[in-house]
Amino acid sequence: MKDFLVFGNHDENTLIQMKSCASNEHAKSAVLCADGHVGYNMPIGGVVAYRDHISPAGVGFDIACGNKAVRLNLAFSDIENDVERIMDEVWNTISFGVGLRNKETVDHELFDDSAWKDIAYLNQASVRDKARNQLGTVGSGNHYVDLFRDENGQVWVGVHFGSRGFGHGIATHFLELAGAPSDGGMMAAPVLLSMQTQAGQDYWRSMLLAGRYAYAGRDWVCQRVASLLGAEIVDEVHNHHNFAWQETHDGENLFVVRKGATPAFPGQRGFVGGSMGEPSVILEGVESERSEAALYSTVHGAGRMLSRTQAAGKLKRVDGQRRRVGGSITQEMMNDWVRSAGVTLRGAGCDESPHCYKRLDEVLDFHAETVKILHTLTPFGVAMAGENEFDPYKD
């Protein structure tokens, strides 16, 4: 069993998953970031560098899930008395929820990519149509559109979501092609695809296309919110955190899979979100021995402490409606926290309450040798899908 670098403290199942990934014969090195918790086959917060192989389960079902933050030429003092109306506009303009079409038509040059014709799975009208319809939708789960003010009083827009049903379909198709057992469950070892095979090459091209798709969606949402505010974007920070990259480490060309982990090479900026009631940050990677050992990776968020079921209870049908029953976090608890933080909230359920998450500053302390904080972003508006939504496309 290979050793792997661990930041922070983790429960037994998270460590078991990471050991399983690191032990694979094709894995050169592995890292577990401080926001880690159990994921599908590979923990969220995990990083694995493979020799000539790729892990569809490691990249995950929400291929290219990531964060984008943009700074606007707008001061918080100019809009602080109008936040309620602004958040209503955001909520009514952007599509939050499961399986939705964008309320506006969005076209993009990515739909001219040759992969749509070359790869059999992508060359289906149903796949292309779903992708077109969902481009720029946010979904549910922990996906959001937030408004922040920084330490200088400037307004930022931050978003978190990925490739929606398009990426989910790619992941499902190639996991089946790789021979992933249908009953393998969360704790099964991830299956790999060799990059020397047609399946491996087709997955790689499909993943890259899903990455372009996710970037385009986040670009569109940030620009649309900026337009609602009558402002211009003057700076942007944009990162995937469910993706794979070809990188050179220790002189060797490797395929580095990051699942809920942000690339943080020296000088590279990243947007890392906290919970809905706490600050987020813009950070930058720094050079150090620890950074190199971490494969130049850092956290993607605060990391969950409570599962959705622990927080909000199980979804059951009550009086003809699906409701959560038996959770430890109430709506009142969540609202009190958010209200005390000065946040105007639209949507969200108890499974996304700040109570469910670790504290971001404490998580980042474990990575202090590898990153530095450039900006602290304090939320004043948060929009997420409503309560009791199940999103099969979330990360």
Kindly report the CATH number that applies to the domain delimited by 5-386. 3.90.1860.10
Residuewise pLDDT in 10s, the chain (395 residues): 478 999 999 999 999 999 999 999 999 999 999 999 999 999 999 999 999 999 999 999 999 999 999 999 999 999 999 999 999 999 999 999 877 788 888 889 999 999 999 999 999 999 999 999 999 999 888 999 999 999 999 999 999 999 999 999 999 999 999 999 877 789 999 999 999 999 999 999 999 999 999 999 999 999 999 999 999 999 999 999 999 999 999 999 999 999 999 999 999 999 999 999 999 999 999 999 999 999 999 999 999 999 888 998 887 777 777 777 788 999 999 999 999 999 999 999 899 999 999 999 999 999 999 999 999 999 999 999 976 555 444 44
Taking the C-alpha atoms of residue 367 and residue 272, their distance in angstroms, rounded to an integer, is: 13
The H-assigned helical ranges of the chain are 12-22, 56-59, 83-93, 115-118, 125-134, 164-178, 198-228, 289-293, 308-312, 331-340, 360-365
Number of H helices, E strands in the chain: 11, 19
Distance CA 214, CA 246 (A): 19
DSSP lists the bridge partners of residue 148 as 156, 379
Domain ranges of the chain: 5-386
Confirm if 45 and 143 have CB atoms less than 8 A apart.
Answer: no
Which DSSP letter does residue 210 get?
H
